[in-house]
Structure 1
Amino acid sequence: MTQSSPQNLILVGRVAGAFGVRGELRIATYTEDPLTLTRFKALTRQDGSPALTVQTARVVKDGVVARCAGVDTKEAADALRGLRLYVPRAALPEPDEDEYYLADLIGLPVRHVATDELLGKIKSVQNFGADDLLEIDPALGGQTWYLPFTRAAVPEVKIADGVVLADPPALVGEPEGPESPAEDDDGERHYD
């Protein structure tokens, strides 16, 4: 069996633990339809090695309960808790026009929508519980920063052109808009 390179794998679920005493697994799914997991021949680990083969599944809150080949006891199911499940990108259907997979954004350059200035490159897509965030590796080096993945901050994603256009919000402490005139001790305004 040919293994996929980790760059071509898409995270589709995570084993949450055992369900019952007969080796069934609770799997949190990251697909639009939780039963999509049953359509893949085999799920892999992040390194591309085989992880699970789903034989049957039923939908439950936050995912599926699945019976998988070779997992026959509660202990075997519990040992898989936390296992992340991937499929090759090629196994997924092509997205519709003007749609894309978040994984397709990784590595794309990010340019300012108004100035065309190169801001950096997308390192990852994160979600810490609220909305998706694009982790940006700055063009000029330095520490990565996060860009909210909202229509306001990212007005255009051009997958075919290989670019993301962004209008990042002002950083904390940075002035928004034109500078305010300074006041000196006598209360007069000066425009420097």
Structure 2
Amino acid sequence: MRKEECFYLGKIAKKFSFKGEVLAYLDTDEPEMYEELESVFVEFNNNLVPFFIESCSLHKNDFLRIRFEDVASEEEADKLLGCALYLPLSALPKLEGNKFYFHEVIGFDVEDTRLGIIGKIVSINDSTAQPLFEIEHNGIEILVPMIDDFIVAIDRANKKVVLNTPEGLVDLYLNN
């Protein structure tokens, strides 16, 4: 499986027991959704390798305690530390309404209720405290905070995000 066909689930943070169990930190608001996993892809040298799960359970709300098949010692678990975990995009639960996955809106047109179509989403910058839509408009990059109050609608059928931005925010980029 290719990484482009998957989503980042989290990473193996530490060993849990001398029997090869590990704790994985999950990059999700709902880690309990992943307690029933049967397998996961582990990234080794930029390759995704399938690992089958013998058992897993939630640990201290943020971590998933995992016992992989064929990993039965601390030495074998050591090799997994720091490795990223991935699942196929098809494993993501479908979101509705104004909830969306970041990867889902890449390429969507952006319509501002006041200004009309202002560009296309080329990326989501989530390295800041507040994630930002990165919108391309005739070679200009427009950054708009992903704030619920700004998001009017996610129109999946027409591949469009409708925003209601405060006056001046987008204008700042367009008037230069």
TM range (shorter): 0.7 to 0.9
Q: Whose RCO is larger (CA < 8 A, sep 6+)?
A: 2
CA 1:165–1:146: 2 relative to 1, 3 Å: same
| 2:23 matched residue in structure 1 | 26
Q: 1:42 aligns with which of 39, 42, 48?
A: 39
Look up the SS of the partner of 1:95 in the other structure.
Answer: coil
2: CA distance between counterparts of 1:25 and 1:168?
44
The answer as to whether partners of 2:35 and 2:58 remain within 8 angstroms in 1 is no
| Residue among 159, 162, 168 paired with 2:159 | 162
Gaps of 5+ in 2: none
Count of residue correspondences? 166
Rounded to whole Å, the distance in 1 between the matches of 2:142 and 2:97 is: 29
Q: Secondary structure at 1:155's aligned position in 2?
A: strand
Alpha-carbon RMSD: 2.8
Structure 1 portions without partners, runs of 5+: 175-192
Q: Which amino acid is the alignment partner of residue 93 of structure 2? A: P
Identity among equivalent pairs (%)? 20
Distance change >3 Å, CA 82–CA 91, structure 1 → 2: same
| Greater Rg over alpha carbons, structure | 1
User: Who is 1:13 aligned against?
Assistant: 10
C-alpha separation in 1, matches of 2:119 and 2:11: 33
Tell me how far 1:40 sits from its aligned partner: 3.6
Match of 1:134 among 122, 132, 144: 132
Contact map agreement 2:135 2:143 (CA 8 A) in 1 = no
The aligned residue for residue 55 of structure 1 is: 54
Structure showing the higher strand proportion among its residues = 2
Q: 1:103 to 1:85 in 2, by over 3 A?
A: same
Report the residue type matching 1:152 in the other structure: D
Match of 1:74 in 2: 74
Q: Which residue of 2 aligns with 1:121?
A: 121
How far apart in 2 are the matches of 1:165 and 1:37? 31
Match of 1:184 in 2: none
Q: Deviations over 1:26-49 (max 9, x none)?
A: 111234542433434321246673
> What TM-score results when the alignment is normalised by the length of structure 2?
0.75
Matches for 1:79-90 after TM superposition, within 5 Å? 79-90=79-90
Distance 1:138 1:98, change over 3 A: closer
Distance verdict in 2 for CA 1:54–1:32, change over 3 Å: farther
